Amino acid sequence: MADATAPATSTTPLWLAGPSERRLQEISSAITSRAPRSPKYTAAILEDVAALRRLAQSFLLCANAYSSPILRLPPELMREIFANVAALEPTKPSMLGWIRLGHVNSTFRSILSNMHQLWASAVCDVSQRASNTVFARAGNLPLTIHLDDENESIEAYRIQYAMSHLAIARHLKIREYDPDTVLWTLQPREMSGRALPFLETLEVEAIHRPDRDADWLGTDVYGLRPVLAPRLRIVRLTNIFIPFPAENLTVLVIERRMFSEDGSIPNQDDVLPSPEQVLDLLRRCSNVEHLRLENSIPELTPLPERLLPTLSIPLPHLKIGDLWAEMDRLTALWSHLVPSPNARLRINPDGIDVPSAYTEIVDRDRLSFLASFQRHISTRHCDRPVAIAMDFDNYDEFKTYCGFYRRKPHFVTSTWEGLSIFGEECIGEAYASCLDITFSLCKWDQQVSFGAFLDSIPSAFLTTIDTLDTRAMSGDDLRRLFLRLPLLHTVHIRDCNTQVLEVLSASSPRWILPQLRHLRLEPISLCVERNESMTIDDVPFQDIIDMIFLRATAGLRLQSLKVTWVTLVNTDQAAMDTFTTSLKAIVPAVEVILPS
């Protein structure tokens, strides 16, 4: 048996050798002495053992810190890393997620324990037995209450916990996906006047439950006393209503989803706010930056133009306005509003979120709809739209889109010519939309034609347009549009066909895009020559060459031509190379790209 009192060996560090040898000698002397055994001395030896173990643990921690770069990072940087890990690895009742960071070592555990905001965001995301521990680690911080049953089942205790802790919530985010589970259980009357002193975000997206509409969404609930939430800035309510104060809001979204698994939702006015309630609400939204009203606009009386100076509702800070409703309701509401001239408006006058559930319709009122927004197109030349995007489908999706864009003032570029609205070269940073109109159930016919819609666009919308992005349309419609846009220098045409080239090759080209210098065609189907099997979508090489040659001969030479997403029909790469060479002989900058 080894001698327990042996002196320190040569492997003992010098700084420890002397003290350890002396202490061991003391213990050895006590063992060999004939003095009575002392329980206190035994306890002292055991205390030495415990101290050495603690010292050894400290040395191990130091060794880890020295050899692990992450442990040498500043605590504030570690906290930022942990916050990102928490976003990627959320905790759930059945999965620890980011909480496992505390199991790595004491340094991780110490930093994580002091991240009270992180714990405050997880109180509803842990098992029932862990909720009190997580709540304690949140300190005195307000909670983030988040329930979402899209990918998990939410047990009853989590719902009860959320509803019982609203008074100390900072962010409340609830989204229902399971029709059999009600995540938000409080009627509007139960919430009326409740004190929520810390609440900053209120987001509740409920599934449509028609059996409770009369009680939960009746017109009277919109007049209830709001919750007392002086810090509230963001409100998003879907198929639910919670009375809220509007004065300090920066985001307001009120949505009535018109569809459920059982079919469409009857959207009668008895489950919508009254006209007076909507207008009063908007008057109190003087700080709102993002406003979205989807299928929640009642039937209003339009405000006469002469009363605008005194009765209109200013929204001076509005950046984004999303309005979904029937056309007459939209135009009536819009007549009351005076948003910031820089606001982006996204308008859906068909008020449909699932177009396939309805039959497309022809509506003559579409021809006068854009004129309702003429006031928003600034009279100042520098603020008018300079680009327009158009897309329509009259056969499958029955959707028509018309968007007007301004240039972003701080976007840096040597020239705006040739810069597409949606091209990869600008990645959406060059242009800012000022008005997007989407007709979701739009059918055009001979009586109400798409050409008539093009003619109905007010001239004030078009006088400064120099850039166009459009899907190919009939030759007559394309010619009609081009004649209204004489300043175009950049044109991007999608689904190019022979009709497009016929218009661009007009016998009097000075009447068709006299300032065109940059043309982009994509996608396009190219072939060597005409034959009986080709369709209108198959474009012969020579048609493109003839078009650009004709324009060049007329003094309208293109500066750049970009042909992308090319499909070759009955041809080969050699013919393609010959075609590209012919283009480069006429156009200074040519780019032809086949799909990889």
pLDDT truncated to tens, each residue of the chain (596 aa)? 445 444 445 577 777 777 888 888 888 888 888 788 888 888 988 998 898 888 888 887 777 767 677 777 788 888 888 888 888 888 887 778 778 887 777 788 888 888 888 888 888 888 888 888 888 888 889 999 999 988 888 889 999 999 999 999 999 999 998 888 999 999 999 999 999 999 999 999 998 888 888 889 999 999 999 999 999 999 999 999 999 999 999 999 999 876 555 555 656 788 899 999 999 999 999 999 999 999 899 999 999 989 988 999 999 999 999 999 999 999 999 999 999 988 999 999 986 555 455 567 888 999 999 999 998 886 555 578 999 999 988 777 788 999 999 988 887 777 888 888 876 555 457 888 999 999 988 889 999 999 999 999 999 999 999 999 998 788 899 999 999 999 999 999 988 888 888 898 876 656 789 999 999 998 888 888 877 777 778 899 999 999 999 999 888 899 999 998 888 888 888 888 999 999 999 999 999 988 76
Query: Does the residue 499 lie in any domain?
Result: yes
527 in a structural domain: yes
- List Cβ neighbours of 405 (8 Å cut-off, separation of 6 or more): 385, 386, 387, 388, 389, 421, 431, 432, 433, 434, 467
Strand locations in 256-343, DSSP E? Answer: 259-260, 263-264, 290-294, 313-315, 320-324, 337-339
Please report how many Cα atoms fall inside a 13 Å half-sphere around the Cα of residue 266, on the Cβ side.
Answer: 8
Report the b/e string of 351-365 with b at 16+ CB within 10 A: bbbebeeeebeebee
Give the helix/strand (H/E) hosting 560. Answer: strand 560-563
Backbone angles phi, psi at 403, to 5 degrees: -125, 140
Q: Domain of 559? A: 495-596
Domain assignment present for residue 286? The answer is no
Helix (H) or strand (E) holding 105: none
Tell me the CB-side half-sphere exposure of residue 342, using CA atoms within 13 A: 10
Identify whether 581 is part of a domain. yes
- Of 24, 48, 67, the residue at which a domain comes to its end is 67
Number of domains in the chain: 2
Tell me the CA end-to-end span of the chain in Å, nearest whole number.
Answer: 77
- Flag whether 508 is in a domain: yes
